A and B are shown apart, each in its own frame.
Chain A
Amino acid sequence: MTNRADTIAALRARLSVMDRIRAPAGQEALSLGLAALDGALAGGGLVRGGLHEFLGEAADAAPHGFVASLLARLPAAAGPVLWCRLPPPDAPADKPYAPGLVCLGADPDRLILARPRTLEDALWVLEEALRCPRLGAVVGDGIAPPPVAGRRLQLAAEEGGMLGLLILPPQGRPPPSTALTRWRVRALPDRPGEGDWGRPCWQVDLLRARGGGRMGVAADSGTWKVVWDDAAFRLHLVEPLADGPVAAAE
């Protein structure tokens, strides 16, 4: 019996790797930097070989900030990061700003910026980049792939074993997708204390995750308030203090 249970367990483990729920042996998922967030994911972090989506509000750089803090956690040997930014059609043009990345611990020298003109070009860039094994990660910023294109991107990421991070443009109801995880990141007000001014402070919601939770916490969703500590260059969890101002960190 035990033998059979072992076999089933082994098969499950293999299946979960094939489903990109867990990272394959010898490879680690990209930790989000907080045990609570990592714990909500079966893989213990963002698994390579798939897409991870981040939703945000209009004219809010909170999801960008969260993604940048993830990029800062990529090992230097992972290779450069391709950041493909499609400016929103109905808002003033903006671009990722390297000094801002520095503030979040990411190294702009490892960044390659692509600025396609059309959604078609942007999807093509993402697909090509996701297939390239020499990149550390691919960020699709402001790109909402239609369902078929989303599936194509997911397959490309699986083929290249690439970490794809999609920052979706703000939209009323995000379409269903094949991405491995989906997050919503929103800015939270933070009060400047003595001698410093507000720190980046976000509410991070895990909307869905393939494979569900690992530690029994929040089966496949959860809500956390996090704050960026620019002294330690890492995220801290904020205790949910009703709706009050963020007072203490972790």
Chain B
Amino acid sequence: MLPGQGGIRLHAVNALASADGLSVGMLLADARALCPTLAAPPADPAGDRAELGRLALWAQRYTPQATSDGADGLVLDITGCAHLWNGEAGLLADLSQRLRRAGLTHRLALTDSPAAAWGWARHRPAGADEILPSGRAAWEALLALPLAALRLDAELTADLARVGLQRVADLHRLPRAPLTTRYGTAPARRLDRLLGLGAEPVAPQARPPQWQARLPLAEPIFTRDAIDTGLERLLRDLCQQLEAGGRGARRLELLLVRSDASQQTLALGTGQPLRDVSILKRLFRERLDQAEPGFGIEMMLLTATVTDRFTASQTALGSGDAFALTFLLDRLCNRLGPDRIGPPLAEDEHQPERAMGFASGGMGGQNAASPVAEISKSVVPISTVTPAQAGVQGPQALCSMNLDPGRSMGDGGVCEGGDERRGQGEINNTPTPWPKAQPRAHTPRPRTWQVEAPRPLLLLDPPEPVEKPEAAALVWRGRRHGVDWMEGPERIRPDWWRARPGTGRDYFRLQLADGRRLWLFRTAEEVPRWFLHGLFP
């Protein structure tokens, strides 16, 4: 939903919603009246655009000439590519299957020009084939399309409809000169493009720069020395690229391709952007211990999957020890794992085990998801691809996809009802999944380690169940200990949003006869259980 004229209006609907009679542009209040269980998250047009751009990049697996088209479509120029997929039908089948698997409702069309593909995908009659063959039949099919297939703006289409022009053929019949005088050049130009008479080049979606260095090897290598040498060459190459781009690597992946075609990936992260060969080499030293050459490594590929802006000069890094701590932490992080090292964090929590958080060691992006993974998560419906008319452009085939949520259920039958589509602020009768929990961002805030009562120095995690202490003895870890004194209780309740009956705890400090001091608690249940939670110094 999006704010629109007169209130909040639906921005997109999914199949189930349209089956209930909802449509794009409807007021949310009206929609709710029709369908009380409606789930309507806010639309995110910018997010949709970015998602569509990623999808276009993914679609470049079919052809290098793939780009996003409008707000809800992709256009692929598959000239010369179809034979790789056993023909046009094979390509469409593969594309459709993958999109469906990713949960995207889509309509495909394959025609001879981009404009025709756009129109055919969105406005072809029910039951028509996705592929529009060249020749006379295609010409007639396109002329039979409604005027909306011309992709004129809505106002102009309405104006034309008002003078009785309903179909493309109606417009095609009119003399050009008066038409242009009255309505501008757009109708004639769009008509030419639809019929394949005017050129409409497709510019491929620009890929974000990739920081990558590859080293194919003439002979497979096995030894650590050889791998080290290869890595150094890769690093030198990559660092030059990074320097030219003013970037520093935060996360690196080294792909080793063995001669039996199996692969191994070694990844590492850095605490700050880096592009110094010797430092990165040192960071990789630990990782390379895990390299398994197997039958020999045939190719090494080094990619900086996450980079950051880096403009400072790096002369200081080699000398001096100003950065020694950062590099130490990087090395520790890379060997132990980011969840195993970091400073303790003060948390505003009552429960003792929650009062101390743990910051992970400042590693670079852990969650760099590949574009394809992103796609499979989001759900954008696609509809369209259209065939075309033989045209001026010679033997060219175009394939366009329309990601129009509003119409996804139409005739082509590509979409599956159900739970696809969230991406574009749609309506969904099925429960929308909650947004994925974001890793909790620890913003710097005034940290306070408030200690109101004595706290143990070692905290058992999880607490260790113990027997109920008797008046003068505690049975603990299989032995009976004399109890010197016991003090308490100190009641600690969980924070109110976690509180359930029986979650409060009564803490006791207890000194054994030998001087050891323990921190025990008793749960506030009907039958209290006792736990050891910490050791005092």
Complex CA gap A134/B320 in Å reads 11
Q: Does B61 contact A (CB under 8 A)?
A: no
Bitwise, A96-125 to B at CB < 8 A (1) or not (0) is: 111111111000110111111100010011
B537/A134 in contact, CB under 8 A = no
Across the interface, A132 reaches (CB within 8 A) one of B328, B447, B454, namely B328
B460/A113 in contact, CB under 8 A = no
Across the interface, B536 reaches (CB within 8 A) one of A61, A92, A124, A135, namely A61
User: Among B153-161, B171-179, B510-518, which stretch is in contact with chain A?
Assistant: B510-518
The A-B contact count (CB < 8 A) is: 170
B449 — nearest CB in chain A belongs to which residue? A102
Complex CA gap A42/B476 in Å reads 42
A202 / chain B contacts, CB cutoff of 8 Å: 537
Complex CA gap A31/B119 in Å reads 83
Known: A61-B456, A68-B457, A98-B356. A112 touches B511 (CB 8 A): no
Complex CA gap A186/B335 in Å reads 34
Complex CA gap A100/B536 in Å reads 8
Bitwise, A120-151 to B at CB < 8 A (1) or not (0) is: 01001100110011110000000000000000
Complex CA gap A95/B463 in Å reads 11
A55 / chain B contacts, CB cutoff of 8 Å: none
Q: Does B295 contact A (CB under 8 A)?
A: no
A186 — nearest CB in chain B belongs to which residue? B515
Q: Does B487 contact A (CB under 8 A)?
A: yes
B484 / chain A contacts, CB cutoff of 8 Å: 189, 191
Interface of chain B, helix or strand or loop or mixed?
mixed
B329 / chain A contacts, CB cutoff of 8 Å: 112
A60 / chain B contacts, CB cutoff of 8 Å: 516, 535
Complex CA gap A206/B457 in Å reads 23
Known: A59-B516, A115-B336, A132-B324. A94 touches B487 (CB 8 A): no
User: Among B129-137, B142-150, B342-350, B407-415, which stretch is in contact with chain A?
Assistant: B342-350
Size band of the interface chain A makes with B: 35 or more
Q: Smallest Cβ distance from A181 to chain B, in angstroms?
A: 20
B321 — nearest CB in chain A belongs to which residue? A133
User: Among A9-17, A21-29, A192-200, A207-215, which stretch is in contact with chain B?
Assistant: A192-200
Known: A97-B456, A103-B455, A128-B332. A117 touches B340 (CB 8 A): yes
A198 / chain B contacts, CB cutoff of 8 Å: 485, 509, 511, 517
B456 / chain A contacts, CB cutoff of 8 Å: 61, 97, 100
In the complex, 11 of the A-B residue pairs with CB atoms within 8 angstroms, ordered by the A residue number, are A60-B516, A97-B534, A100-B536, A101-B457, A103-B454, A104-B537, A113-B358, A114-B332, A125-B336, A200-B517, A200-B537
Q: Which residues of B contact A (CB under 8 A)?
A: 321, 324-325, 328-329, 331-332, 335-336, 340-344, 346, 352, 355-356, 358, 447, 449, 451, 454-462, 464, 477, 484-485, 487, 509, 511, 513-517, 532, 534-537
